[in-house]
Structure 1
Amino acid sequence: MKLFNASHIEVKKDFKEDFQTNPYEAGWADEAIFFIDVEGLSGMNPTLTAAVEISHDGVHWTSEGTVSEPISKEGLHFVRVKHFGNWLRLNCQLEGEQPVFRLNIQLALKG
């Protein structure tokens, strides 16, 4: 029987500049999906790009290589990752003039 866990990483937060999500220990899982729910956005041409980062200890981080499509509209978006070791987080870049994203980010794990 597979194990499943869904955790809220960021809840109803407004982001105005580049950020990294809270890290999550996920070494037991075989696969992960970050769900990025954009509840609102403002500014001129706001765009968010989310890159998966991995860590062996939750302190030192490196790029895993998976990057989301550019996100520039409200709704639910996702990023999948399969081979990630122990810790996961998203490194998010915001572009545009005075971008503001209201986000809920959830991590779904299955093992």
Structure 2
Amino acid sequence: MRTFATSVTDLRQEFTGDFDTFPYECGWADEAIYFITAEDQTPADARIDLRVQLSADGIRWLDEGTTLSLTGPGATFARLTHFGGFLRLAGTTTRCTLTIRLVLKG
């Protein structure tokens, strides 16, 4: 029987400029999916650029290689494997409100 967990890492969190999301320890999992929902942006068609980062210790972060972008309200996702101990998203935007969920299976 596999273990399954869903966590809301950022709930309707406002981000401006360069930002990092809440890091999550997930070394036990074999696979992860980030679900990102953009609820509000200023201006309304503002671009949100995101990249997945991983870390062995939760302190030093490296870009994993997966990138995502949203323009205007909407949703996207990223599937991940082989990610080490911790995951987070790093991004840049003018101003936005995001809800980010991390689904883990192991």
Class of the TM-score when normalised by the shorter of the 2 chains = over 0.9
Runs of 4+ in 1 over 6 A off after TM superposition: none
Q: Are the counterparts in 1 of residues 45 and 72 from structure 2 also a CA contact under 8 Å?
A: no
Long gaps (5+) in structure 1: none
1:42 CA displacement:
2.0
Task: Provide the rounded CA distance (Å) in 1 between the counterparts of 2:84 and 2:16.
Answer: 30
Structure 2 residue runs without a partner (length 5+) = none
Match of 1:48 in 2: 48
1:104 matched to 2:99? The reply is yes
Q: Cα deviations across residues 40-93 of structure 1 (Å, max 9, x unaligned)?
A: 11217411111111111000111111111x210212211121110111010112
Partner of 1:72: 71
Across the aligned residues of Structure 1 and Structure 2, the Cα RMSD in angstroms comes to: 1.3
Aligned counterparts of 2:102 and 2:44: Cα–Cα separation in 1: 29
TM-score by length of 1: 0.88
Distance 1:36 1:48 in 2: 11
Cross-structure match for 2:89: 90
Q: Partners of 1:80 and 1:51 in 2: how far apart? A: 12
Instruction: Give percent identity, aligned residues only.
Output: 41
CA, structure 1 residues 103+44, in 2 after alignment: closer, same or farther (shift >3 Å)?
Answer: closer
Residues in 2 aligned to 1:76 and 1:44: alpha-carbon distance in whole angstroms: 15
Cα distance between partner residues in 2 of 1:88 and 1:44: 28
2:33 is the counterpart of 1:38: no
